Each structure stands twice: as structure tokens, then as C-alpha cells.
A = this chain, B = another copy of it.
């Protein structure tokens, strides 16, 4: 019985040790025996990437990015070879490839390369011979034959991109959680696995702190309309399907609550309200490679305003130093920084057609004496910055209020 092609991606935790590699191999082989063609993308074993990065850091605190890619790409090459061996042990045919061998051509932006094109001849040739094709994720090669890596979440991107160019029937992302949840189950025990979620909601989830998948690969999946099945590498339960449109029996207003405790709030006080001032601030940050998350600026009083934004905690020092310089230039009075904050967000495409969602959120928080310090909204989400100590309570309150419990 000949079925279609499935791309399966196993994350680092799913191939963290011998037993898990064997488990992953068994799963791949079980799909092969059902008649599917399989392309399997693997991440590096467990903490390999972090270990190699630490090793490099001890030799050179500013290693050349080209050499970092040369170094880090070995992690996925190792797991690809080991998984192939594991599959062969079950008597199935398998062959492993590096990103370069399989024809994943990227630009030359080492450590964060972008895929330019994928030559599928080699994969198709091996699939036609009945082989399971294992591809080292996270990597590619430039036209000049230099090895590149695709940046954080790169293996997901490899899987989604291969699913696209090979016209796969499904793209399965195996991870250490059973799917996407209405809230982090460690915080809200009543959290429920979401069966279907849209690309847009998932993108909001990712940017608001859910760590299931990186935005980049979801964007690519959305662009090419490739359904993604996020599921556990440790059992055979159905996980969460990420897709373009979700037909739900009952209309759901809020799909999930996320919490991000990894940000710092920066406020520039008494910024003169002149055209071009905000541009000046954020251009400076962009030039330094800083990603800014929420930005809030309110109406001004006496031709002055406060501008607040959040950045990753790791960037706090760098940003603070930069912004103090800018503040002086633009004659702002002061710069405040607050690491004691969390961002709690509600996300759902249903919001578009349901007025009053924001009001419900703010009321629920107020009733529980949780003060809101900053608010920002998009089409399908509302973010609130609150004190860190209230964060978990806020998640539980909102989860209940929006009826997300099991």
C-alpha cells in the first residue's frame, strides 16, 4: 500500500540519548511499514549545541561566525548518522545527509542563514529506492560550499521547508510536550491541549512566550500553507495541528494564555514630543541588533511623553547603556528599567469578532487586585505587563475567566 510522504522532525530532547534515538527509530520505521515515504529531520543530541558553543567560547570569546557554523553543524550530523543506524537496526533502509549534501542552499549570513533554494533530486532519488532519508537539521550550504546554520529553531525550519519542496502530506514536529496548551500546564493544572490552532495564533503565542516552535518556521508554514502537527516524541497521542483556518463547533474567543517572564521593561521619561524622536530611539537599538518586543507610547502632556518598551532580559545591560546615550541626545529626563515584570497575554482569532474581550481581561485582573502597568494589543491578542509576583495568578485567573479549563 503506497501512501504519501511525511516529513518528521525530532527535536533535541527526542534524540537526547541512545534509548530515545532507538524510540525515534522505532516510530519512523512504524510509519514506513504503514506505507509512508519518510524524510526525517533531526536536531543535535540533547545539549550538544550548547556544549560546543561553550567550548568555542573558551577558545575565542568572539569566534568567527563561519567557524561557529562549521563547529555547530556537526551536532545534527551526528544525530542524523546515529538515527540512520538505529533505523537500519530494525531492518529498514535509511541514509543520512548533511544539509549541504541534500542541497539546502542558503545565503552567506552565517549563524542565521536564510534558505535560498532546495535541490530535491537527491532526496527523491533515495526515496524512490525505498530509503528513509534522514537530514541533519539547522544547516545548509552556500553556493561557495561553506557550511551555514539557520539560527535558533533552525531544524523546524528545515522540516517545514522540506515539507514544502517535497509536497509532503504532513509535517510532524516531535518535541517534549504533547502539543500546544491553553496555558503552561506547570502554572495552570487545568490547561488543555489545543487540537487545532491557526498560524496567526501560533505566531502570537510564540512571540508572547510559548516555546513550542520558533516564529520563523511558522511563518514559512503559513506562507506555503503547510499544516504542522506538533506532538510528543514519547507517546503516540495526537498533538496540536497548526493550520490556516480552524473550524470549531463552538466559537472560541480566546485560544490560549501565555506568560513571558524573560523581559525587562525600559521607560524613557519626558521625551520631547517631536516627529522623529521614536525613530531615533529604535533605529539605534536596531543597529545594535536588539529585538524590541512591546512598545507603548501614550499621549503627551506639556509636549512631553513617556516611551516604554520591553526587551529580552539578556539584552538589558546593553540596551540600558545605549538608551541612556540616546536619552541625553534627545533631552529626555530619565531612563527607568524594571526587571521585575512579566507579560501575560491572551491570544485568539475569535477576538476580532467579539468586542469586549479586553474589558473582560482587565476586569478579571482588577478583581484579583493585579495592577496592569502596560497594555498593548494586536488583532488577535492582548498583552499586559504586570508585576512578576502576580504573573502565575494572572494566568490562572484568565484561564478560568475565558473558559479554557478541561
Q: Which A residues have a C-beta under 8 Å from some C-beta of B?
A: 18, 21-22, 25, 52, 55-56, 58-60, 63-64, 66-68, 70-71, 73-74, 77-78, 80-82, 84-86, 88-89, 95-96, 98, 101, 145-147
Q: Quick check: B74 and A88 within 8 Å, CB to CB?
A: no
Q: Quick check: B70 and A81 within 8 Å, CB to CB?
A: yes
Q: Quick check: B22 and A59 within 8 Å, CB to CB?
A: yes
Q: Quick check: A84 and B96 within 8 Å, CB to CB?
A: no
Out of B56, B70, B78, B146, name the residue touching A52 (CB < 8 Å). B78
Q: Quick check: A89 and B59 within 8 Å, CB to CB?
A: yes
**A96: B residues at CB distance < 8 A:** 67, 70
Q: Quick check: A77 and B74 within 8 Å, CB to CB?
A: yes
Cα A73 to Cα B66 with chains together (Å): 18
Q: Quick check: A67 and B85 within 8 Å, CB to CB?
A: yes
**Considering residues A21, A59, A64, A101, which has the most beta carbons from chain B within 10 angstroms of its beta carbon?**
A59
Distance in Å: Cβ of A192 to nearest Cβ of chain B: 37
Cα A372 to Cα B43 with chains together (Å): 58
Distance in Å: Cβ of A102 to nearest Cβ of chain B: 10
Distance in Å: Cβ of A165 to nearest Cβ of chain B: 19
Distance in Å: Cβ of A24 to nearest Cβ of chain B: 11
**A21: B residues at CB distance < 8 A:** 59
**A55: B residues at CB distance < 8 A:** 18, 82
**A67: B residues at CB distance < 8 A:** 81, 84-85, 88, 95-96
Q: A55-B18, A70-B96, A96-B70 are in contact. Are A60 and B85 (CB under 8 A)?
A: yes
Q: A63-B88, A64-B88, A70-B96 are in contact. Are A56 and B82 (CB under 8 A)?
A: yes
